[in-house]
Amino acid sequence: MNEHTLATTLPTVVIGAGPIGLAAASQLIERGIEPLVLEAGDAAGSAVREWSHVRLFSTWAEVVDPAAEKLLAPTGWVKPDGATYPTGGDWASRYLQPLAEVLGDTVRYGARVTGVSRTGRDRVVDADREQQPFTVHVQFADGREERLLARAVIDASGTWSTPSPLGGDGLPALGERSAADRVSYRVPDLKDPAVRARYAGKRTAVVGSGASAFTALAYIADLAKEVPGTHAVWILRRGISGSTFGGGSADQLPARGALGLAAKAAVDDGYADAVTGFRTAAVERDGDQIVLVGEDGRRLDPVDEVIGLTGFRPDLSFVNELRLGLDERLQAPVELAPLIDPNVHSCGTVYPHGVNELSHPETDVYLVGMKSYGRAPTFLAMTGYEQVRSIAAALAGDQDAAERVELTLPETGVCGGAGLFDEPQTEASDGGCCGAPATLQIGVGAPATSGGC
Ligand SMILES: Cc1cc2nc3c(=O)[nH]c(=O)nc-3n(C[C@H](O)[C@H](O)[C@H](O)COP(=O)(O)OP(=O)(O)OC[C@H]3O[C@@H](n4cnc5c(N)ncnc54)[C@H](O)[C@@H]3O)c2cc1C
């Protein structure tokens, strides 16, 4: 198939109908390119719905994609007040769902992508590779399998379904799997009576030092005010320093700063004890309780429950036949990784971030959104919207627009502090500069900076 036929007859497949996948579809439509969105879940924003009880630290104004807004406007969609903060549930029901409805048949639900390759060419074969369309293997909820052809593939499948384990070495700790009934990897929804009963009056270990851990600590502290005996043990791989709790009032996203302050209050008010420098090696049972054992041999006092909030990692299994250029540490595109790497990120080194940083040796395939950040903890939806704007422009052949960066990200007000959601606990995040390089400030013509290290 020649390039023209590829471009004119086949859709661009977008994997995932989350915020970034739907934004990608909107941007493609604006560019006159036909998208086909394949979503594993049964609704738009399936992953976001799983944390529907969590309030975003971004305002509505920061989580609506401009191209999506243009599609929604003629439908009578009422844009939520831009200065207010949605919950995950609001984001899904008041924005993602109406957007998916406008996109109509462009979005197929119950459609899990299980593999992507070049048609008739595995990863090894060079011959005529770029002339072959992509083949996208799909497993539908009713058991059917289909092979779809695509001109390009935008993988916006997120990282939600692959949380990092408790183990300090990145692998499940000894006994972690068999303690699955006591270990959760989600911020608990304490308004749900069953979940509330699980943590009320109990001792819970919260492992992690990003915004999700802060949120969980704040929730448990609130519960402790109502139900005596409720207590959190906060487990960090690093020590506690001035930046542990994030940027506080210096954070340009005030609600993000407030999360850290709420976690600090939980500790200061005695609802949570912090255990520092602890890298989990084993999860052992002690009667009805759980004992966490550290790499250094420390055994913590028994707890009833464990919540692991140590970050996410991308599922690369279904894109394994593609020639991706991924950084060996973060599993993010090689050009993007240095900008967001918690190990080496140097404050102030930030480049414009669009199609150039997201390209791979395999042409016309892109990882975007949360997945593009690999294991880095600092993704913001507005970053993803800019990624897919740039990629749609590139696919449309508008290289100027693709390379023009139209994004300014808010600063955290801290370096070496908390990640935005769930921090992979690197050595650098144990105290190095920009342990949470949360802030890429990218402005057209503005000096590229990140949050004041
Ligand atoms: C608790 C929490 C709070 C956050 N708060 C903020 C905030 O305040 N501000 C902000 O800017 N960002 C925030 N984020 C980060 C980020 O913006 C969100 O995670 C956002 O949902 C990422 O969008 P996404 O489209 O990349 O991925 P997701 O929202 O995860 O969407 C991916 C979609 O792909 C689908 N999928 C997965 N695998 C497949 C497959 N194989 N085939 C087909 N479909 C598949 C999933 O079902 C899902 O619907 C937060 C994240 C979390 C977890």
Report the nearest atom of ligand 1 relative to the CA of 383. Answer: 11
3-state secondary structure (DSSP) of residue 340: helix
Domain count, the chain: 2
Name beta bridge partners: 113.
138
Q: Is residue 441 part of a domain?
A: no
Task: Kindly give the distance from the C-alpha atom of residue 233 to the centroid of ligand 1, in angstroms, as a whole number.
Answer: 28
Q: Structure tokens of 408?
A: 């300014």
Residue 312 CA: nearest ligand 1 atom is 53
Does one domain contain both 217 and 297?
yes
Going by CA atoms, what residue is nearest to atom 38 of ligand 1?
Answer: 157
Q: pTM of this prediction?
A: 0.90
How far apart, in Å, are the Cα atoms of 174 and each of 178, 184, 383, 444? 9, 16, 37, 49
Residue 168 within any structural domain of the chain: no
265 shares its domain with 378: no
Q: Is the model's pLDDT at 340 over the cut of 80?
A: yes
pLDDT at 249: 72
Question: Ligand 1 pocket: which of 27, 49, 56, 91 to mutate (most atoms <8 Å of CB)?
Answer: 56
The 10s digit of each residue's pLDDT in 125-141 is 999 999 999 999 999 99
User: Atom 19 (ligand 1): residue with closest C-alpha?
Assistant: 370
Question: What's the whole-number average pLDDT of the chain?
Answer: 88
Note whether 87 and 146 are same-domain residues. Answer: yes
Q: Which residues pair with 108 in a beta bridge?
A: 38
Confidence band of 418 (pLDDT split at 50, 70, 90): very low
Pocket test for ligand 1, best of 53, 157, 380, 386 (most atoms within 8 A of CB): 157
**127 alpha carbon – ligand 1 mean position (Å):** 36
* Minimal-distance CA residue to ligand 1 atom 51: 421
- Which residues, at least 6 apart from 394, have a Cβ–Cβ distance to it below 8 Å? 355, 402
What whole-number distance in Å separates Cα of residue 348 and Cα of residue 299?
Answer: 40
Query: Candidates 27, 38, 39: which one to mutate for ligand 1, based on the most atoms within 8 Å of Cβ?
Result: 39
Pocket of ligand 1 (CB under 6 A): 15-21, 38-41, 46-48, 51, 54, 56-58, 63, 112-113, 156-158, 160, 212, 318, 369-370, 379-381, 384, 421
Measuring from atom 30 of ligand 1, which residue has the nearest CA?
158
Atom of ligand 1 nearest to the CA of 159: 30
Per-residue pLDDT at 280 exceeds 50: yes
Give the position, in ligand 1's atom list, of the atom nearest the Cα of 56: 8
Atom number in ligand 1 closest to CA 22: 25
CA distances from 367 to 18, 106, 147, 196, 355 (A): 13, 20, 20, 37, 10
26 with 81, same domain: the answer is yes
Nearest CA to 347 out of 437, 418, 445 is that of 437
**Are residues 362 and 298 located together in one domain of the fold?**
no
| Judgement on whether residues 341 and 303 belong to the same structural domain of the protein | no
Query: Do 15 and 71 sit in the same domain of this protein?
Result: yes
Statement: residue 439 has pLDDT above 60: no
For residue 366, name the pLDDT band (cuts at 50, 70, 90).
very high
For the CA of 21, the closest atom of ligand 1 is: 25
Q: Is the pLDDT of residue 410 over 90?
A: no
Q: Whose CA is nearest to atom 33 of ligand 1?
A: 16
Is residue 36 a part of any domain in this protein? yes
pLDDT at 5: 64
Q: Whose CA is nearest to atom 50 of ligand 1?
A: 421
Find, among 398, 323, 316, the residue nearest to 354 by Cα: 398
Residues 243 and 386 in one domain: no
97-109 per-position pLDDT tens digit: 999 999 999 999 9
Residues 272 and 137 in one domain: no
Q: How far apart are CA 11 and CA 152, in angstroms?
A: 7
- The label of the residue with tokens 């004992």 reads 291
Comparing C-alpha atoms, which of 370, 389, 358 is closest to residue 33?
389
Ligand 1 centroid–CA 124 distance in Å is: 32
Closest ligand 1 atom to Cα of 111 = 43
CB 272 within 8 A of CB 266: yes
- Please indicate, yes or no, whether residues 20 and 124 belong to a single structural domain of this protein: yes
Residue at 10 is within a domain: yes
Structural domain that includes position 352: 3-161+312-403
Contact (Cβ atoms closer than 8 angstroms) between residue 109 and residue 43:
yes
Asked if residue 132 lies in contact with residue 321, where contact means CB atoms within 8 angstroms, the answer is no
Report if residue 352 sits inside a domain.
Answer: yes
Phi-psi sector, 176: left (phi>0), alpha (psi -120 to 50), beta: alpha
290 lies in some domain: yes
Question: Is position 13 within any domain?
Answer: yes
Of 279, 308, 337, which residue sits at a domain end? 308
**Cα(46) to centroid of ligand 1, in Å?**
8
The bridge status of strand 289-294 relative to strand 280-286 is antiparallel
Residue 200: half-sphere exposure toward Cβ, Cα within 13 Å: 11
Q: In whole angstroms, give the CA distance from residue 52 to residue 308.
A: 18
| C-beta separation of 284 from 291 below 8 A | yes
Could you tell me the CATH number of the domain that includes residue 61?
Answer: 3.50.50.60
Same-domain status, 193 and 248: yes
Which residue has its alpha carbon closest to ligand 1 atom 27? 158
Q: Which residues contact 96 (CB under 8 A, 6 or more apart)?
A: 17, 18, 19, 22, 44, 45, 48
Name the 3-class secondary structure at 396.
coil
Residue 6 has what pLDDT?
63
Q: Is the predicted pLDDT of residue 255 greater than 90, yes or no? A: no
Within a domain: residue 169? no
Q: 82 phi and psi, to 5 degrees?
A: -60, -20
Pairing of strands 111-118, 134-140: antiparallel
pLDDT of 414 strictly over 80: no
- Whole-number Å distance, alpha carbon 369 to ligand 1 midpoint, is 8
Integer Cα distance of 279 and 179 in angstroms: 17
pLDDT tens digit string along 390-408?
999 999 999 999 998 777 6
Residue predicted with more confidence, 58 or 344: 58
Give the pLDDT of residue 446: 26
Query: In this structure, are 317 and 258 located in the same domain?
Result: no
Out of 308, 323, 342, pick the residue that ends a domain: 308
Q: Which of 290, 308, 326 is the last residue of a domain?
A: 308
Rounded Cα distance between 8 and 33, Å, is 8
